Structure 1
Amino acid sequence: MEDEIARGYWPNQIEFLLSCLGYCIGLGNVWRFPYLAYKNGGAAFLIPYGIMLLCAGIPMFFMELALGQYVSLGPSVIFQKMAPLFSGVGWAMVIISLLTCAYYNLILAWAFFYTFASFSKDLPWGHCNNDFNSVETEC
């Protein structure tokens, strides 16, 4: 047990809280939630959303935090130690996290690319002499 690498810890509670908020509120939530609320009925969408958040979202998030804090293990090990039958659940969580990181990085790369490309002098959408314009396009 002594030769294991020591796990990191949070020096104070506010850093833990800010880390949890950063984990919960991702870039996709900030960009997509207003669109989904508008598309699915505006304020009426907030009622089932709030109910599901209170009944399922927050308790599952709390369970994940509590299990991780209590046993100080990652998801690939914790489910195997709790019930060997559920070891696939932990590995599925790891794989889903890796895939999510991959597509979030791709979305951010596109945003950075087009942001910096928009600082060029000639923008493709600045004139109508492009190959991708249709004949009907008028300037």
Structure 2
Amino acid sequence: MNDKTHLPLDPELATEREAPVDPETGEPLDCTRCGACCEAGQGNIPLTEDDLVLWRRTGRQDLAEHVDEGHFGMMAFPTTHEGACIYFTRPEGRSICSIYAERASTCREFQAGSWQCLEFRRDARKKGRLGRSKV
């Protein structure tokens, strides 16, 4: 797989010139200006047992103990009443994860431009949460 095709959800990498584009809108996929995957609704950001073990081992008991029920009986990050991950913020129009260094494996493995990314973007546009960026 070409690393330029699917960028990890990483603010430092989101500024690369050869970032993938949204095929429906033609806009570059800049994770720090989108956040659709982080606002996908309750239960949509699953956690694994390995995430919980890592958080406990690294002293982040707060993360390990603050989970919700996710889809298919899995655990998930809690969400706000609007459906955004509680660790997701939008300071100055940017999409930022407040626990980025400790994020879950699902978030670490998520790829900009993947079918899941594009589906979350489509859903966000339908709900009026994602407009054309000014990048």
Q: Which bin holds the TM-score, normalised by the shorter protein?
A: under 0.3
**More contact order relative to length (CA 8 Å, sep ≥ 6):** 2
Query: When the two structures are superposed, what TM-score results if normalisation uses the length of structure 2?
Result: 0.22
Query: When the two structures are superposed, what TM-score results if normalisation uses the length of structure 1?
Result: 0.22
* Larger strand fraction of residues: 2
* Greater Rg by CA: 1
